[in-house]
Structure 1
Amino acid sequence: MTLLALLSTALLFGGMALYAFGFATFLFSNLPAGQAGRLLRRAFPQFYLFVLVFSSISALLLLSSDPIGALLLGCVAATVVPARQVLIPAINEATDTGQKRRFQFLHALSVAVTLAHIGMAAAVLSRFT
């Protein structure tokens, strides 16, 4: 169980880090901004679904061996749902209606949520040592 928890948490951490620091940067450096934005808009719900699935799996696998790690990953799973279902549609609406200040605020919030999720996954990974 512990090995599966480690692998699942490592996949979660790596996937989030790659998406946040690699994929988005790659898109905006290789595509026109409008095209990159449209592609990210389509990818974000899938990204959040990935985070939900793997944070939940990892939390369940850690329940018996590391309740604190399980709690941290449970928090990731719990907070990714409103990010996916509420925050992302609000960002899209702000973009579509030209509300630049609202977009900037909501985008900054989504970045903070993602960084917090990455940090929590990193904290859980550090508990395996």
Structure 2
Amino acid sequence: MLLQAAILLTALLFGGMVLYSFGFASFLFSALPADQAGPLLRRAFPHFYVFVIVCALVGSALTVTIDMASALILGLIAVTALLARQILMPAINGATDRGNRSRFGILHTGSVLVTLAHIVGSSAVILRLAT
């Protein structure tokens, strides 16, 4: 039962990150003008990171007795999501507010890479736990 719960929770984490990153964010910019989509996305991101942190922490706790590598991967996802929420996201918002497009581009690229790493990490955990 613990294994199944860990797989389902990690699948929820994976699916939520993919949907948010490739679905919700791109939908907003296609459905709304950029001056409306940007602020809405800015308001949504803290909640996204809380979702990632909570799912990854609970997943790590569920897997610690099943597969230590999976627990470590999920723990790393939680820690880096916390850092992204508390440090990277405010820096991105600050660059946007100051109109510093080059700094925004660098920081946003970093944020995208962190999220892609989270997606890859959570998929690796699903595959590890499913075999």
TM-score (norm 2): 0.97
Alpha-carbon distance in 2 for matches of 1:93, 1:71: 32
Counterpart in the other structure of 1:29: 30
Residue 34 of structure 1: CA displacement? Answer: 1.1
Q: How many residues align?
A: 129
Unaligned runs of 5+ in 2: none
Q: Which residue of 2 aligns with 1:97?
A: 98
For residues 79-118 of structure 1, what are the alpha-carbon distances to aligned partners after superposition, in whole Å with 9 as ceiling and x for unaligned? 1111000100000000000101000000000000000000
What amino acid maps onto 2:37 in structure 1?
A
Aligned sequence identity (%): 57
1:7 aligned partner: 8
CA RMSD of aligned residues (A): 0.5
Q: Aligned partners of 1:81, 1:54: CA distance in 2, in Å?
A: 12
Gaps of 5+ in 1: none
Q: Quick one: distance in 2 between partners of 1:34 and 1:123?
A: 37
AA aligned to 2:31 is N
What aligned pairs does 1:1-129 form with structure 2 within 5 A after superposition? Answer: 1-127=2-128, 128-129=130-131
Q: What amino acid is the match of 2:111?
A: S
